Amino acid sequence: MAKKKTPKTEIPDRFTPQAITDTLELNYMPYAMSVIVSRAIPQIDGFKPAHRKLLYTMYKMGLMSGARTKSTNVVGQTMKLNPHGDQTIYETMVRLTRGNDALLHPFVDSKGNFGKQYSRDMAFAASRYTEVKLDAFCQTIFKDIDKNTVEFTDNFDGTMQEPVLFPTTFPNVLVTPNQGIAVSMASNICSFNLGEICRGTIAYIKNNDVDLTEYIKAPDFSTGGELIYNKKEIEQIYETGRGSFKVRAKYRYDKKQSLIEIYEIPYSTNIESIIDKVIQLVKTNKIKEINDIRNETDLKGLKIAIDIKRTADPEHLMDKLFKLTPLCDSFSCNFNILVDGTPKVMGIREILKEWTAFRSDCIKKRTAYDLDKKKEQYHLLSGLERILLDIDLAIAIIRETETEDMVIPNLMEGFNIDEAQAEYIAEIKLRNLNKEYLLNKIKNREQLEKDIAELQGILSSEAKVRNLICKDLREIDKKFGKDRRTDIIYAEDVKVISDDELIKDYPISLFLTAGNYFKKITHASLRMSGEHRLKEDDIIVQSIETTNKAELLMFSNKQNVYKVKAYELEECKTNSMGQYLNNILPLDSDEAILFMLATTDYSGEIIFAFENGKATRVSVENYKTKLNRKKMINAFSGTSPLIGAVHINGTEDVVFIRDDKKTMLISSELISLKTTRTSQGIQVFTLKRNSKLSKILKAEDFTVNKKTAYKRTKLPSTGASPRDEDNTFFEGLNL
């Protein structure tokens, strides 16, 4: 029977087929570029568009001086430039405020609750309750903005003009921290100390090959802390713009109260994350020295209080907390900055190069603007000088002119001046048409000539432009520079606590049951407890005494070995059933653990015994791996079912017992050591038809009256039948 043809799906007329590459190019790429250029990545002035629109709005509102205004007023006005929603604008403002503590040098002077950079849960108040104005520090970013120093562009609806960049008088891009995630790229710029940046920039302008680390020591954060200085890491960041470094919290210890107070934390974390992690460590018994932890942050500043036990060592405890919690955190740098509309990852030297070029251009444009104004003023005064020759004529011309629109042409003709000069003269008040006033005005021409010459000199000299940049930087350093908040400590002076030191070592007992249950019990708990609680018909098949730092090898009936750290397993009491191994190991549903081994150094050997009467001896070293593998397959031979295994150190006696209770005791030397884990070994027991090997024991666990009666020196062997006085022991084996 012929197959029916599947009808082709017809594409409706309203849909036009389009190649995916064309869709990406026409739709996705413009979106991606918009996010990169207009939203997420800062430009060379150190601002993203959202920051710039907000601050410029406040500047135009006259908030550089005078009283604060409600934040909601600023948010409303900013929407004329930024139509992305009032909450987004307000959140942008919050980060720029003095109250939020996110910046070393805030741009917004604030009043009210603006939350805190170092708190995840401390929410800022609504915009109708808070008040803001521009901080005095904004003088450094708005200087000469009205002198054509930067380009302006239309806002989103073409009704207003806004600056493309701010003419920042210092490398703000390195002083104000910035983080942004765009499409297929991101930016993460840490903050540096303003004074160090100013001095480093001056040194760079004078000598491009200067060692910047001599001036710019290391990043500096508003939340303080201690930066762990590694010279190679810092040099890599300075050269490439990529890399990471660590910052840790500052603390003090009150011995009388057994109290640790943390008062500065890394910039990249927050109070709540730290407290949550500490609580988790305490609950999982990874840290036992802490009684309580509290957030005591108030108007005086950040404070995390940790009550510790009287016997605890505060320094050792803090070393552990630095390793296990965000009290020591990494900051990953990615100095990705937009330069002329193109994202570029740069080191500090290259950033200073780009900023210097940008600032030079700003100064040249400002100088050209001032020069035009001076020339214009000089030109007007030149026309005024001609009036001085015959003031009476000027008055007569104006008085005798019949119509207003002829005043300017008549003055132009009477004194041979141009329209601008005539307009200037016509606007002089009658009371000022006297010789003294005019002479005083004309005297300004001498100063104007000097100013014009000076401005022309600046435009023609790169050295003078650089000197002006350095002059601004020195003034900013003097006026706004502050001491470092983040202290520098050297990596070689920091104690690095090893993973082994984090683990408390103490003796433990491990128990494995036939039902695949596992118990880890401390010796103290074992002494105080009664009988083991087990599931019905379940029995304990193996017990081990070891330490909490041991590594456990658990061998399953599917020739797998699972590796787990003893300290990772939960402690329990004898009156609990323990942990079901299928819940803590990735076992198959029909997989069971037959034997477990505890080791701290992978010393000794394992003797595996199989139902077919064979046994093999393998070094424990064969199960040691360089990688932290949790599971190893082909752990032993699968030719015959494994009935048991024992761990020996050196030459020891072991006991093999058949299902008919025939037994033999031999030296482990009789079983040759194999180099491969999956070796079938040698025949140790001679078996009859339908008989099998059932048990392997260490000689110390073979508690019969006369062990020598079962001793054998050659293999294979049929073993010895149980002696009558040993029947009690064999009956307890449950063969």
Arithmetic mean of pLDDT, 404-410: 88
Handedness of CA 319, 320, 321, 326 (dihedral sign): positive
Q: CA-CA distances (angstroms) from residue 427 to 239, 321, 388?
A: 60, 77, 15
Are the beta carbons of 402 and 483 closer than 8 angstroms?
no
Beta bridge partners of 641: none
The CATH number of residue 631's host domain is: 2.120.10.90
First to last CA, the chain: 66
Question: Does the pLDDT value for residue 71 go beyond 70?
Answer: yes
Q: CA-CA distances (angstroms) from residue 223 to 101, 233, 267, 585?
A: 7, 21, 6, 43
- The CA distance from 294 to 382, in Å, is 76
Same domain, 584 and 717: yes
Q: Are strands 250-254 and 259-264 parallel, antiparallel or unpaired?
A: antiparallel
Beta bridge partners of 644: 609
- Among the three residues 132, 167, 202, which one is the final residue of a domain in this structure? 167
Q: Are strands 507-513 and 517-522 parallel, antiparallel or unpaired?
A: antiparallel
What DSSP designation does 148 have? T
Specify if 202 maps to a domain: no
Specify if 242 maps to a domain: no
Question: Does the pLDDT value for residue 2 go beyond 60?
Answer: no
Specify if 476 maps to a domain: yes
Question: Does the pLDDT value for residue 537 go beyond 90?
Answer: no
Handedness of CA 341, 158, 58, 148 (dihedral sign): positive
The residue written with tokens 């590694």 in the block is 230
Specify if 214 maps to a domain: no
Specify if 391 maps to a domain: yes
Specify if 8 maps to a domain: no
Specify if 517 maps to a domain: yes
Beta bridge partners of 342: 339
% residues pLDDT > 70 (the chain): 98
Arithmetic mean of pLDDT, 459-467: 96
Same domain, 724 and 688: yes
Same domain, 640 and 536: yes
Residue among 227, 250, 253 at smallest CA distance from 301: 250
- What is the count of structural domains for the chain? 4
- Among the three residues 110, 132, 167, which one is the final residue of a domain in this structure? 167
- Among the three residues 167, 185, 211, which one is the final residue of a domain in this structure? 167
Q: What digits encode the pLDDT tens for the residues 351-380?
A: 999 999 999 999 999 999 999 999 999 998
Residue 342 identity (one-letter amino acid)? T
pLDDT attached to residue 386: 83
Give 220-274 as a DSSP string: --TT--EEEE-HHHHHHHHHHSEEEEEEE-EEEEETTTTEEEEEE--TT--HHHH
Tokens of 342: 């193109």
Q: Range of 277's domain?
A: 250-326
Same domain, 467 and 506: no
pLDDT attached to residue 5: 55
- The CA distance from 219 to 189, in Å, is 10
Run of H or E residues at 322: helix 314-324
Report the mean per-residue pLDDT for the chain. 91
Beta bridge partners of 345: 336
- Asked about 378 being catalytic, the answer comes back as no
129, 437, 506, 567: the active-site residue: 129
- The CA distance from 344 to 356, in Å, is 16
Same domain, 474 and 613: no
Same domain, 259 and 159: no
Beta bridge partners of 537: none
Lowest mean pLDDT among 25-39, 167-181, 331-345, 689-703: 25-39
Q: Is 556 helix (H, G, I), strand (E, B) or coil?
A: strand
Q: Would you give the distance in Å from CA 377 to the centre of its chain?
A: 56
Same domain, 633 and 506: yes
pLDDT attached to residue 354: 97
Same domain, 528 and 420: no
Lowest mean pLDDT among 385-389, 585-589, 701-705: 385-389
More confident residue, 731 or 628: 731
Arithmetic mean of pLDDT, 131-142: 97
Same domain, 551 and 679: yes
Are the beta carbons of 664 and 710 closer than 8 angstroms?
yes
Confidence of residue 603 (pLDDT cuts 50, 70, 90): very high
Are the beta carbons of 207 and 63 closer than 8 angstroms?
no
Are the beta carbons of 566 and 552 closer than 8 angstroms?
yes
More confident residue, 17 or 130: 130
Question: Does the pLDDT value for residue 437 go beyond 90?
Answer: no
Length of the chain: 735
pLDDT attached to residue 442: 84
Same domain, 535 and 655: yes
Q: Up-side HSE of residue 433: CA atoms within 13 Å toward CB? A: 18
- The CA distance from 106 to 99, in Å, is 9
pLDDT attached to residue 1: 47
Arithmetic mean of pLDDT, 275-284: 94
The CATH number of residue 81's host domain is: 3.90.199.10
Tokens of 171: 């490398």
CB neighbours (10 Å) of residue 327? 25
Sort residue 112 into left (φ over 0), alpha (ψ -120 to 50) or beta.
Answer: left
The CATH number of residue 452's host domain is: 1.10.268.10
- The CA distance from 190 to 353, in Å, is 18
Q: What angle do CA 552, 553, 558 make, to 5 degrees?
A: 145
Q: Is 334 helix (H, G, I), strand (E, B) or coil?
A: strand
Residue among 136, 164, 181 at smallest CA distance from 44: 164
- The CA distance from 607 to 612, in Å, is 15
Same domain, 148 and 289: no
pLDDT attached to residue 14: 67
Same domain, 527 and 588: yes
3-state helix, strand, coil in the chain (%, to 5): 35, 25, 40
Q: CA-CA distances (angstroms) from residue 132 to 96, 107, 129?
A: 11, 10, 10
Confidence of residue 390 (pLDDT cuts 50, 70, 90): confident
Q: Up-side HSE of residue 673: CA atoms within 13 Å toward CB? A: 13
Q: What is the pTM of this model?
A: 0.78
Q: CA-CA distances (angstroms) from residue 530 to 270, 573, 574, 575?
A: 46, 9, 7, 7
- The CA distance from 56 to 111, in Å, is 20
Question: Does the pLDDT value for residue 454 go beyond 80?
Answer: yes
Arithmetic mean of pLDDT, 608-629: 91
Specify if 457 maps to a domain: yes
CB neighbours (10 Å) of residue 186? 15
Q: Would you give the distance in Å from CA 707 to the centre of its chain?
A: 65
Arithmetic mean of pLDDT, 168-197: 94
- The CA distance from 191 to 364, in Å, is 28
The CATH number of residue 289's host domain is: 3.30.1360.40
Contact residues for 207 (Cβ-Cβ < 8 A; gap 6+): none
- The CA distance from 30 to 335, in Å, is 23
The residue written with tokens 């005043």 in the block is 407
